[in-house]
Amino acid sequence: MIVSLLCSNTRETSACPTKPKVYGRDQERNLIISKLVGEESGRQNLSVLAIIGDGGVGKTTLANVVFNDSAVSNHFNILLWVYVSVYFDQAKIIHKLLESLTGNDHEHIKGLKELQSILGSAVKSKRVLLVLDDMWEDSQKEKWDELLTPLLSNDVMGNKILVTTRKPSVAKLIGAADQINLDGLKQDDFWLLFKESAFGDENYKGERKLLKISKDIVVQLKGNPLAAKSVGRLLIKKINVDFWEKVRDASEWKQQEDDYDIMPALMISYKYLPVHLQQCFSYCAVFPKYYKYEKERLVNIWIAQGLICSADMHKRLEDIGSEFFSDLVEWGFLQKEFEFMSLHISCMILFMIWHRRFHLTRASP
């Protein structure tokens, strides 16, 4: 079996080998696994499943759980994970697949037909599961068809593609045989997730006033796991009634546009970020959306811009920058992902925050 974790763009996601606890998705997990490995799964050469849901609702997390399930890994000869994002470049995705499968991305080859042929040889007579995470392309079906060609001719039944997306139109384009629609978590599951994030213990039964404030905050989070984790990481830094009341009564909650809007939660977390971390984090906005960073390079940029200083002559600026980076990861504003042993980060939340700030500024008199 070959397991490969790939990224074709930047807010990189991967099928992490660790198994963090996932709340409230057992039914969906079992359904997807049954579709991937059940008897009916082997009756077609290739079929497609789609997980559809709003941002932060847990599509990637669910796909990750399925990807790492032993029944799935034992069923497929090759498991591949590619982060797609807004720009669906079938040739680039194939280059990445080849790099993982053969150790050579064949970068010198530009012709799509030749790339398809090489990939077809690499997956010949192998049952393949390909996860395409965060797909947005919903209009150019020819690109999708060109990506599928090698899998359609590999002489094995039961190949599967699992796609995560926010857009039902994507599921329609790819001809998904099954669609799993994810909403926010149910109340009981969401409460456990929030307590784990805010108290470090899903079974916390301590100070009643804090639990009462927590219940009020949970109502604002609308069952969204990302919002719960973001606010929870903020609250756990300072477990006292006065601070938690400030978070509960923050004016940002009034800006919530609908039940799916998690911006207020993210903006509140950003507001309480220490100033030096805000400065370093905000600097990422000068780069294009979905730009890929390496940790050391980003730290060096912070230093060059004068964002990192030290009164201690014995402490290297690079070490301080690394601490800042780790702090931002701990706060939940940067996400570490691994691709072929290289560390990259994601600034998805940053762009969501700045988009909202720009929108509000333009709307204000």
Residue 98: what pLDDT?
87
Contact 48, 177 (CB under 8 A): yes
The string of pLDDT tens digits covering residues 31-64 is 999 999 988 877 889 999 999 999 889 999 999 9
The string of pLDDT tens digits covering residues 155-198 is 899 999 999 999 999 999 999 999 999 999 999 999 999 999 99
Q: pLDDT at residue 250 above 90?
A: yes
d(CA 151, CA 321): 44
d(CA 112, CA 103): 19
> Could you give the domains of the chain?
2-181 (3.40.50.300), 187-269 (no CATH), 275-363 (1.10.10)
The string of pLDDT tens digits covering residues 219-233 is 999 999 989 999 999
The pTM score is: 0.84
HEC profile for the chain? CEEEEEECCCCCCCCCCCCCCCCCCHHHHHHHHHHHHCHHHHHCCEEEEEEECCCCCCHHHHHHHHHCCHHHHHHCCEEEEEEEECCCCHHHHHHHHHHHHHCCCCCCCCCHHHHHHHHHHHCCCCCEEEEEEEECCCCCHHHHHHHHHHHHCCCCCCEEEEEEECCHHHHHHCCCCEEEECCCCCHHHHHHHHHHHHHCCCCCCCCHHHHHHHHHHHHHHCCCHHHHHHHHHHHCCCCCHHHHHHHHCCHHHHHCCCCCCCHHHHHHHHHCCCHHHHHHHHHHHHCCCCCCEEHHHHHHHHHHCCCCCCCCCCCCHHHHHHHHHHHHHHHCCCEEEEECCEEEEECHHHHHHHHHHHHHHHHCC
The string of pLDDT tens digits covering residues 89-141 is 999 899 888 888 887 777 788 889 999 999 999 999 999 999 999 899 888 99
